[in-house]
A = this chain, B = another copy of it.
Amino acid sequence: MSDRDQVTIFDVAKTAGVSGSTVSRVVNGYEHIAPRTRAKVLAAMEELGYVADTRARSLAGGKTNVIGVLVDGMGSAFMTELLRGIDDAISSSGMDMMLCTTNSRVGKEVEYATKLANGMVDGLVVAIPSELSLYLSTLKDRSVPHVLIDIDNEDRDTSMVKVDNRSGARRMTEHLLGLGHRRISMITGNLDVESARERIVGFREAMADAGLVDTDELVVPGDFNRPSGYEAAVELLARPVPPTAIFASSDEMAFGVMRAAAERGMLVPEHLTVVGFDDVPESSWVQPALTTVRQPIQEIGRRAIGLLLDEIRSPGGGAVSLELKTSLVARASSGPPSDVGAMQRHTAPQS
């Protein structure tokens, strides 16, 4: 019940024999303070176990020292890595993180963004495919520093960080082409997400360069998650003329593809080449190890926080966009296409 045994700045002031303002100054590391005064205050703080009240501090115009992070869910390996990078950067800067999860509930993102903008945080990083138009203006009006991750934003005056999805997908497709594949299928990510769309573009470009323009039936929909990769593969492998290689837009989906292949008795890469995108930790762990497009996931998070911190510390610096590079990681799951005879035996065993 006794909620009032909180030690305030005035308690400290009294036992140190100074004013509240002075205590506030030493707490905030203000420079021009007599060494003796500072020492007395510090001693009093220590003695009383003073801890600043974040709410009051921020209400009065100070900083909250917390950064808000808006994501849709934290289930995927990609998100786990991203959050690790974000959390790393936040805590090594001495700030705290407030993670808000929308779980794809419509409206939640706006609610959180507005709430957070209302003084709960010093800045905000948003990593969900979202209807930015609904709250980006609020963030700007309130001049809440913010940076977007992997989100498309027409007006280039918001800071953001992303990777070169298009050329990553392009290079992977060229890798498959170079191995001799022609019937290459791509399983897409959630098309609401900018990066999913960019990967398709990269894939199509490379295919077109190889003279393969009719790719429509080779591009099948997925949503970045494992089950969707599995289902798409089941359908693809059941086709009369199945692809010899499947390029999943995420490693997670590639694992689903591998599962579908295994169930059909197909060996990877002998009977089917399977590649992914992301390079999550599990990709080098699975058997066979997954060939994939590596994106520096943790780095993305760290950079986003870096940008945010810059803006928080010296506002008005203008928006900056970062595009990080991807790279091809060739491992065991990709190889030359199997001959048609072998494919037939495997793809239509029950016919």
| Chain A residues at the B interface, C-beta cutoff of 8 Å | 1-3, 5-6, 51-56, 58-59, 64, 73-75, 80, 83-84, 87-88, 91, 96-101, 103, 105, 108, 112, 114-115, 118-120, 141-143, 226, 259, 262, 285, 287, 315-316
This protein's copies in its complex: 2
Residues of B within 8 A of A96 (CB): 100, 112, 115
Structural contact, A118 and B53, CB atoms closer than 8 A: yes
> Can you name 18 A-B residue pairings with CB atoms under 8 Å?
A2-B141, A2-B143, A3-B142, A3-B143, A5-B142, A51-B114, A54-B115, A54-B120, A55-B120, A56-B119, A59-B59, A74-B80, A75-B80, A75-B84, A88-B103, A226-B285, A259-B285, A259-B287
Structural contact, A55 and B287, CB atoms closer than 8 A: no
Closest to A3 in B: B143
How many Å from the CB of A154 to the closest CB on chain B? 23
With the chains together, A264 CA to B342 CA distance in Å? 29
Structural contact, A118 and B1, CB atoms closer than 8 A: no
Residues of B within 8 A of A74 (CB): 74, 80, 83-84
With the chains together, A119 CA to B64 CA distance in Å? 13
How many Å from the CB of A85 to the closest CB on chain B? 12
Residues of B within 8 A of A5 (CB): 141-142
Structural contact, A101 and B97, CB atoms closer than 8 A: yes
